Structure 1
Amino acid sequence: MFRWIVAALVAFAFVAPAADAQERKRLGYGLLLNNDVIDGRRDRWRTGGFQSSRIWGPAWAGTAPGGFGQLLELRLGAEIITPEDLRDVSDSDRRYAGALSVGLHTHFQRGMTEYAMGGDLVFVGPQTGLDSFQDAMHDFLSMPRPSDAVRDAQIGNAVNPTAVVEIGQNFSLGTDTTLRPFVEARAGNETLARVGLDLTFGDFGRGALLVRDNVTGQRYRAIETEWTGFSYVLGADIAHVLDSEFLPDNDPVSLDKTRERLRAGVHWRSETGLSTFFGVTYLGEEFEGQDGGQFVGSLRAKLRF
């Protein structure tokens, strides 16, 4: 079923209007990897995953087009969420969860305001195979493996349709500094409303299409532009969370209705097109009784040989 859904989304990306279908082509690709290895080399809570984007449209002229659906993004993602102790099931901690997502999104701009809207299907539970993947990887790396009890107690199989909307606007604070406040609404796998901002020092993102990672809020390039040197990014946001399939109402632990994120990162791009990004994000508590927040590292690298 998963492959059928991916095929359907890809096919839809090349459908009506007919005029756009004739001109639409692949414009870019982006990927961001996340892992909490930076936080004391412990696997816990939002422990790891990735998000990737493939962009199609008629053309790219440095800004998103004004028409809804002209620029399309096929978004794929995977995430592993674990309790603090991979070997133990506790009534005071969250349950293990694996999630795979596939979605179709569109980016457009009206005046100075940028919009990103779309939907994802989020597959949760043992059906994703992510518990087996982590078990095999940790066995290979001689790291603690999730116990049978932890895997047996994980969030069960489900498919959750999820809608996402983000609205933002860039404000220049000088020749090399940009402030971008944004609001986001998400309904489905997790239902929340978020407000935040991103601050960029340098040329990163100018004339590019940036996509926001769901877990950390870090933004990565999905359509590249020609720039060189270093750029630095800071960001913060706060969300009011109504519900989460990762923390269901019948769990022993209760969902924390407020969720904060603080992030920083550095981008570098050479004259030959080699580029890297490393970021760190602090994720606040997501459930009542959580023993503090956590730090998650993010990595992206583009190599040319």
Structure 2
Amino acid sequence: MRCLFLLLVLLVPFGTVSHAQSRDALGEGRLFTNDFFGDGRDRYQTGSYVHSFVRGPSNWDRTPLEFGSIREYRLRSAIMASDGIGDAPGDRPYAGALSLGVHSHFGQDTFRGTVGVDVTAIGPQTGLSRFQERAHDQLGLAQVRFTDSQLGNAFHLGLTAEAAENVQLTDFITARPFAELQIGPEDVARFGADVVLGRNITSDILIRDVTTGHLYHGTETADSGFAFVLGADLAAVADSAYFPAERGVVATDRRGRLRAGMHWQSESDTSVFYGLSYLTPEFEGQPEGQLTGSLKLNFNF
């Protein structure tokens, strides 16, 4: 209850938009990430799903607006697992995380900013371990291990802020350098860039996935065609609730991500995204990084 109260207090600035300005649903964004679509090893950042609902002025003309005008309501789940040695000292403990938050997307000229707050629940209370066990049983996949020693129940209040700049290099190439700060379950400062090749998607509301860094659409224009996105970033990690000291596991203080993806949209508003991401080791003793795949399918009939 205390976390929910703090969330409501922090959301007061999001209510600064004039009541005379009507609001509407501007779009939805979603992204499913799983290492089944990557290296298929079922470990570490093994799966996540995020669903975003974007609302704003009904007369929005796709130009950037002031803080609080466009809001994204985000629901996200993630499962993190060991590589198979379970309770051994130094191995990553199993963890399920479920979060709910509100983020504002704003900007001016070529600048784009995002600020938001989330409440994240961790542990058996999320039901994610039971969901994964049932899903693996139904699909005939390997048994899920070490859920009986997963991280305990906890709540974390988090803040995320990102600043990005759209730099038009040519008619078909846009660079998007960014800096991001996360405080909550993990305290992370991150710097990186993405490059968009082909159809310019930067007038859309683009949302950065927490796990991979991929940019997924919260809104989409009527323009059809392909856009290829390449990205990379480096992060400094100050603290992480997913690597508790009492478990004998230590988070690395540096992380890196490399990613490549393709967006495609038809004139009938059917859109597809597929991307791959390489994630460097996240804890001391992790022998190698991992490859994950991300997928989005959107069909409007």
Normalising by structure 2, report the TM-score. 0.93
Which residue type is aligned with residue 165 of structure 1? A
Conservation of the 8 A alpha-carbon contact between 1:32 and 1:220: yes
Alignment identity in percent? 40
Tell me if 1:239 matches 2:235: yes
Count matched residues.
297
Of residues 291, 294, 298, the one that matches 1:298 is 294
Counterpart of 1:162 in structure 2 is 158
* Structure 1 residues 176 and 153: alpha-carbon distance in aligned structure 2, compared to 1, 3 A threshold: same
Counterpart of 1:193 in structure 2 is 189
**5+ long unaligned stretches in structure 1:** none
What are the superposed Cα offsets for residues 122-161 of structure 1, whole Å, 9 maximum, x if unpaired? 10000000000000000111112223xx112111100000
Conservation of the 8 A alpha-carbon contact between 2:90 and 2:247: no
Counterpart of 1:134 in structure 2 is 132
Matches of 2:290 and 2:123, distance apart in 1: 23
Counterpart of 2:60 in structure 1 is 60
Displacement of 1:63 after TM fit?
Answer: 2.6
Counterpart of 1:81 in structure 2 is 80
Matches of 1:207 and 1:88, distance apart in 2: 45
What are the superposed Cα offsets for residues 38-62 of structure 1, whole Å, 9 maximum, x if unpaired? 3442210000011111111114222
Conservation of the 8 A alpha-carbon contact between 2:37 and 2:294: no
Matches of 1:20 and 1:14, distance apart in 2: 14
Conservation of the 8 A alpha-carbon contact between 1:99 and 1:125: yes
Counterpart of 1:44 in structure 2 is 43
Question: Aligned ranges for residues 1-305 of structure 1 at < 5 Å?
Answer: 16-17=15-16, 19-20=18-19, 22-58=21-57, 59-65=59-65, 67-85=66-84, 88-147=86-145, 150-305=146-301
Matches of 1:183 and 1:113, distance apart in 2: 12
Displacement of 1:21 after TM fit?
Answer: 6.2
Q: Give the 3-state SS of the residue equivalent to 2:106 in structure 1.
A: strand
What are the superposed Cα offsets for residues 82-110 of structure 1, whole Å, 9 maximum, x if unpaired? 0012x743223100000000001111113
Which residue type is aligned with residue 127 of structure 1? Q
Farther off after superposition, 92-101 or 20-29? 20-29
Conservation of the 8 A alpha-carbon contact between 2:101 and 2:116: yes
Normalising by structure 1, report the TM-score. 0.91
Moved over 2 A (4+): 12-22, 38-41, 87-90
* Structure 1 residues 241 and 156: alpha-carbon distance in aligned structure 2, compared to 1, 3 A threshold: same
Matches of 2:241 and 2:162, distance apart in 1: 21
Which residue type is aligned with residue 136 of structure 1? R
What are the superposed Cα offsets for residues 243-263 of structure 1, whole Å, 9 maximum, x if unpaired? 111112222121100000000
Matches of 1:110 and 1:93, distance apart in 2: 45
Conservation of the 8 A alpha-carbon contact between 2:14 and 2:104: no
**5+ long unaligned stretches in structure 2:** none
